[in-house]
């Protein structure tokens, strides 16, 4: 599923639309946006380097926007590159070029569609990567995929483990009439929780309020974050993705022994975005959504004969309803597409 809708395609420079007015069409109506494509194309690529194998599994969406709208108005399919052909293109280009990272493969696909078919105005490629990691095995034979230290671990040549800590994705949009590439990378499903050093106080106090000031609470969220590149000169997409993920975790958790204080989800979100823009100059804009996944104290006051005293150990996870906090932070005077 695409992270955002396709933008309206412009006509070629110095060229009017080739679509004739449909017969007997009401002139007060016009197609304001359109496009078509193939979604959820799953592909696994195995790179074999002797006994050492590497894998990449992607789920790919390809959406195209044509200059003509005659397929809509007149039922003329002569310009349509079938969605089944788009599916085949994913597999054939994976075979021809291999698969390195989502952004690079999306650029290969988008460039192919614009180069191969002159009547395509825009190509939008969405790629999600499945999080496979090489199995790490200790000398004792115990499998351990804690990658904080692998000095004494041997990484398996051809066996992998699915590690859904977070999902990586990207959107690439190329428009024939616009020389600028739109390249958006993202993280979703990064679920984190901390048990202290989160507060929420001094908010609006009126007749609708029931929540007391929270001086020390549990803080949990599922991070959805994406960012757009103003240019990709010297960008290493995998390193950048990991750097953003580490910045998110560091601003949420802080030092392993000391932690870091969060006075609100909003402030934690902003500090994270600011650091990304500070340390990655090629990123022009970053968007984040942090749903506040609540954990409420179980009230033990009516059960003092069974569980005497205050309760700060047992909590009720509550998925719905939940708060949602989001923001987009951009460099000034830069055009972006998020």
pLDDT digits (tens, 9 = 90+) for 191-241: 999 999 999 999 999 999 999 999 999 999 999 999 999 999 999 999 999
Match 């984040």 to its residue by tokens. Answer: 288
Q: Is 263 annotated as a binding residue?
A: no
Q: Is 7 annotated as a binding residue?
A: no
Tell me, yes or no, if the two domains 36-131 and 177-330 fold the same way: no
Strand partners, 44: 57
Say whether pLDDT at 128 is over 70. yes
Say whether pLDDT at 148 is over 90. no
How far CA 213 is from CA of 16, 100, 205, 263, in Å, comes to 62, 49, 10, 11
pLDDT mean over 53-69: 98
Report the distance separating Cα 193 and Cα 172, nearest Å.
Answer: 32
Q: Is 234 annotated as a binding residue?
A: no
| pTM of the model as a whole | 0.87
Assign 333 a pLDDT band (cuts: 50, 70, 90).
confident
- Going by C-beta distance under 8 Å and a sequence separation of 6 or more, which residues neighbour residue 139? 152, 153, 154
Domain definitions of the chain by residue range: 36-131, 177-330
Assign 146 a pLDDT band (cuts: 50, 70, 90).
low
Region 36-131: CATH code: 3.30.1130
Q: Is 177 in contact with 12 (CB distance < 8 Å)?
A: yes
Q: Is 216 annotated as a binding residue?
A: no
Class level of CATH domain 177-330:
alpha beta
Assign 272 a pLDDT band (cuts: 50, 70, 90).
very high
Which residues are designated catalytic? 38, 83, 294
- SS3 of 216, please? coil
Q: Is 266 annotated as a binding residue?
A: yes
Report the distance separating Cα 266 and Cα 269, nearest Å.
Answer: 5
Strand partners, 328: 287
Q: What stretch of H or E contains 95?
A: helix 83-97
Q: Across the chain, what does the average pLDDT equal?
A: 90
How far CA 58 is from CA of 129, 191, 313, in Å, comes to 5, 21, 41
Q: Is 88 annotated as a binding residue?
A: no
pLDDT mean over 66-77: 95
Assign 65 a pLDDT band (cuts: 50, 70, 90).
very high
Q: Residue 3's pLDDT is what? A: 45
pLDDT mean over 102-128: 99
């Amino acid at each position: 599923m695409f992270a955002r809708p396709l933008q309206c395609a412009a006509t070629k420079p110095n060229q009017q639309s080739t679509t004739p007015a449909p017969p007997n069409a009401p002139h007060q109506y016009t197609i304001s946006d359109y496009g078509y494509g193939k979604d959820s194309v799953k592909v696994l690529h195995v790179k074999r380097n002797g006994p050492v194998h590497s894998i990449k599994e992607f789920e790919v969406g390809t959406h195209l926007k044509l200059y003509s709208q005659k397929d809509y108005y007149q039922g003329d399919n002569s310009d349509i590159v079938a969605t089944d052909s788009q599916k085949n293109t994913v597999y054939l280009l994976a075979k021809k070029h291999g698969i390195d990272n989502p952004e690079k493969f999306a650029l290969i696909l988008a460039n192919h569609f614009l180069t191969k078919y002159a009547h395509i105005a825009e190509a939008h490629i969405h790629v999600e990567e499945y999080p496979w990691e090489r199995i790490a095995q200790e000398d004792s034979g115990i499998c351990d995929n804690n990658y904080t230290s692998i000095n004494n671990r041997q990484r398996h040549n051809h066996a992998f483990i699915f590690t859904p800590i977070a999902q990586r994705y990207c959107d690439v949009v190329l428009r024939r009439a616009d020389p600028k590439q739109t390249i958006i990378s993202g993280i979703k499903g990064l679920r984190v929780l901390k048990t202290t050093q989160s507060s929420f106080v001094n908010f609006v106090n009126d007749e609708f309020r029931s929540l007391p000031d929270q001086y020390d609470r549990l803080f949990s969220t599922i991070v959805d974050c994406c960012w757009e590149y103003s240019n990709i000169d010297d960008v290493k997409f995998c390193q950048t993705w990991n750097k953003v993920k580490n910045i998110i975790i560091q601003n949420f958790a802080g030092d392993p022994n000391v932690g870091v204080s969060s006075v609100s989800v909003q402030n934690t979100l902003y500090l994270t975005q600011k650091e990304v823009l500070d340390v990655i100059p090629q990123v022009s804009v970053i968007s984040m959504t942090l749903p506040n996944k609540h954990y409420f104290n179980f009230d033990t006051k009516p059960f003092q004969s069974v569980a005497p005293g205050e309760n700060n150990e047992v909590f009720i996870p509550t998925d719905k309803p939940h708060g949602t906090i989001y923001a987009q932070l951009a460099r000034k005077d830069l055009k972006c597409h998020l």
